[in-house]
Amino acid sequence: MSQTEATMQKIVSLAKRRGFVFQSSEIYGGLRSAYDFGPMGAELKRNLMNEWWRAMVHSREDIVGLDASILMHPQVWKSSGHLSSFSDPLVDCLVCGERFRADKAPRVAEGSDAPITLADKGRAKAALEKLQEAHGVSLTRSGKTLAGAQASDRGYVCPNCGSPFLSDERQFNLMFRTFMGPVDPIGKVVDTVRAAVESGEDGKAIRARVEDALAESTVYMRPETAQAMFVQFPNVVQAMSPKIPFGIAQMGKSFRNEVTVEHFVFRSVEFEQMEMEYFVPPGEGPKWLDYWKDERMRWWQSVGLKAENLRFREHDDDELAHYSDGCFDVDYQFPWGWDELEGIASRTDYDLKAHAAGSGKKLDYFDPQATNPETGKPGWRFVPHVVEPAAGATRGALAILCDAYDEEPADADGKGARTVLRLHPRLAPVKAAVLPLVKKDGMPEAARAIVEQFLDAGINAKFDQQHAIGKRYARHDEIGTPFCLTVDGQTASDETVTIRYRDDRRQERIAASEAVTVVQEALRR
Ligand code: ATP
């Protein structure tokens, strides 16, 4: 097992053991790429999303919030281009049968005629022999190398076995579709197909007929939250009279029928996004793209991600959508390598224009103070341009877990090894644990009274008297509780408790009445 796999396995195991993330429907064998956030994970993800909302909506005057439906009019996805092009290029490996995304496959250096290394996997070996038999493909094998085999001119190989023998690419649309209203989609399909077959139509025509028959009841689970901000643009402008530049922010569930299973919750079929559309005057996209790059990088660091684990990746020209005039990913260094956490794109006026064309409605903005560049007179009506920072909350929670995960070795006496989650106090699921040293002598009662003080202040503190004190400290280190407050024999006489700091295990005595203030201060930082 590689170092990477070992680290990931430890994080996944802690996530399950301590109630952060479970496989969805686990008792039934689980549902592929679907996960449930357990009691600790639900708090962590919610805290992260609250931080985002606080930074985006509550701490500034130029952004308002939105909470839109997951199901939208199907025309939305036609106008936005998702129906025709929100797809992944899928390929099957002809050697081992792996199905994978062409755009994520390992690249082969251009012009390289070096032999391609075929991973020595049982499945690949057996399949290769079959392929040779069936197709008469003649290959010379030297050890694990397919000598002379050229990568197809597509420039990538199978991520599982390294083979360059691949099927054609097929576009696979990622949107989940379902049916709204009292319809029996299967009945409709059967009736349509029967009628089409009777009239002797070919496969292509039958397919088109079936699509038509289902079209009026078909709806899609949104694959991103962003489109609602464009579609509701005129209502928000009408209701709020915002002064440009301004933004509309939304957090919530999105759904993608992801085919490749990858890295725990990093790529899941149902996940939460935190997206904001920032509307600016034409020509100001690049300037605001720079602004939002800085803001977002700062924010990820403010919630605890280490600067050295974050970077920008600029999209190449051939990666940029045709309408975009600049796009950067915020990448995080996950245990398996750099990968996308957030995309920040300058989208020009593409989205509002696309929905204006699709709906026949005007999606523009009138600025009475601006000078119209064509007439030179005051008052300018224009279609705003958009800069979009689009972040993943589910992916963000995983990055936070990976960054906070730490193991401390034992000291010279073999004591003190521990696993600790160094979460920012604002993200920690439990802010303070209040622990009676023993279950007698009034200690549990005194501890409960301290918990009450926290709850009155709106801070999530937990009473915990299960197991020996060392075990309780270990448990709270593993869920990232920043403070443990221990009530002991001395508490009754002088009303003090021991506070133990998670990060350095330092302990000191403080007045029980100060406990809430200490935690409040840490939460403010
Ligand atoms: P990828 O290239 O990884 O498929 P993307 O570029 O398609 O991602 P966007 O459409 O830009 O992603 O979505 C914005 C953010 O939503 C991503 O940066 C990511 O954090 C999150 N996200 C997208 N797809 C998923 C998914 N399947 N599971 C979890 N988070 C996702």
State how beta strands 246-255 and 63-65 pair: parallel
What are the tens digits of pLDDT across the range 16-65?
Answer: 999 999 999 999 999 989 999 999 999 999 999 999 999 999 999 999 99
Q: Which segments of 325-472 are extended strands (E)?
A: 327-334, 337-346, 365-371, 378-382, 385-392, 405-408, 418-421, 432-436, 461-463
Atom 27 (ligand 1): residue with closest C-alpha? 267
Same domain, 365 and 390: yes
Do 237 and 343 have their domain in common? yes
- Residue 148 has what pLDDT? 42
Residue 384 lies in a domain: yes
Residues 80 and 355: beta-carbon distance below 8 Å? yes
In a domain? residue 203? yes
Can you read off the two tokens belonging to residue 276? 């904001």
Could you count the other beta carbons within 10 Å of the beta carbon of residue 274? 23
Report CA Rg, the chain: 28
Instruction: Note the pLDDT of residue 418.
Output: 95
Nearest residue by C-alpha to atom 20 in ligand 1: 392
Do 346 and 391 fall into the same domain?
yes
Do 258 and 368 share a domain, yes or no? yes
240 located within any domain: yes
Tell me if residue 434 falls in helix, strand or coil: strand
For the sheet containing 270-280, what is the strand order?
A: 63-65, 246-255, 270-280, 385-392, 337-346, 327-334, 310-314
pLDDT for residue 149: 46
Which parts of the chain register pLDDT below 70?
Answer: 1, 108-153
What is the model's pLDDT at position 144?
40
Q: Is residue 10, in this structure, part of any structural domain at all? A: no
Q: What CATH code is carried by the domain that includes residue 467?
A: 3.40.50.800
The confidence score (pLDDT) of residue 152 equals 61
Residues 275 and 250: beta-carbon distance below 8 Å = yes
Which tokens hold the place of 70? 């997951």
Residues 274 and 391 in one domain: yes
Per-residue pLDDT at 136: 54
* Same-domain check for residues 369 and 503: no
- For residue 113, the model assigns a pLDDT of 55
For residues 345 and 274, membership in a common domain is answered with yes
* Structure confidence by residue, pLDDT tens digits, 201-253: 988 899 999 989 998 899 999 999 999 999 999 999 999 999 999 999 999 99
Same structural domain, 259 and 358: yes
Residue 369 and residue 233 share a domain:
yes
DSSP 8-state assignment for residue 236:
H
Substitution candidate for ligand 1 out of 254, 261, 273 with most atoms within 8 A of CB: 273
Residue 377 maps to which CATH number? 3.30.930.10
Do 506 and 482 belong together in one domain? yes
pLDDT score, position 114: 56
Assess if residue 253 is contained within a domain: yes
Which domain range does residue 241 map to? 37-84+221-402
76 lines ligand 1 (CB under 6 A): no
Residue 415 domain-assigned (yes or no): no
Question: How is residue 180 written in tokens?
Answer: 């709204």
Residue among 267, 331, 341 whose CB has most ligand 1 atoms within 8 A, to mutate? 267
Return d(Cα 246, Cα 355) in angstroms, integer. Answer: 19
Handedness of CA 372, 375, 378, 383 (dihedral sign): negative
Is the minimum distance from the CB of 224 to ligand 1 under 6 angstroms? yes
For 468, what's the count of Cα atoms within 13 Å in the CB-facing half-sphere?
2
**Per the domain annotation, does 60 fall within a domain?**
yes
The confidence score (pLDDT) of residue 106 equals 79
Closest-CA residue, ligand 1 atom 26, reads 267
Same domain, 126 and 45: no
Cα–Cα distance measured from residue 334 to residue 310, given in angstroms and rounded to the nearest whole number: 10
Please identify, by atom number, the ligand 1 atom nearest to the C-alpha of residue 339.
Answer: 3
* Centre of ligand 1 from the C-alpha of residue 217, in Å: 28
Q: How many domains does the chain have?
A: 4
CA–CA separation, 490 and 514 (whole Å): 16
What's the pLDDT tens digit per position in 166-185?
888 888 899 999 999 988 88
Instruction: Give the closest residue (by CA) to ligand 1 atom 10.
Output: 224
Is 199 a domain residue? yes
**360 and 277 both lie in a single domain:** yes
In whole angstroms, what is the distance from residue 313 CA to residue 296 CA? Answer: 13
Specify the residue with its C-alpha closest to ligand 1, atom 18.
Answer: 342
Distance CA 371, CA 245 (A): 15
pLDDT of res. 146:
47
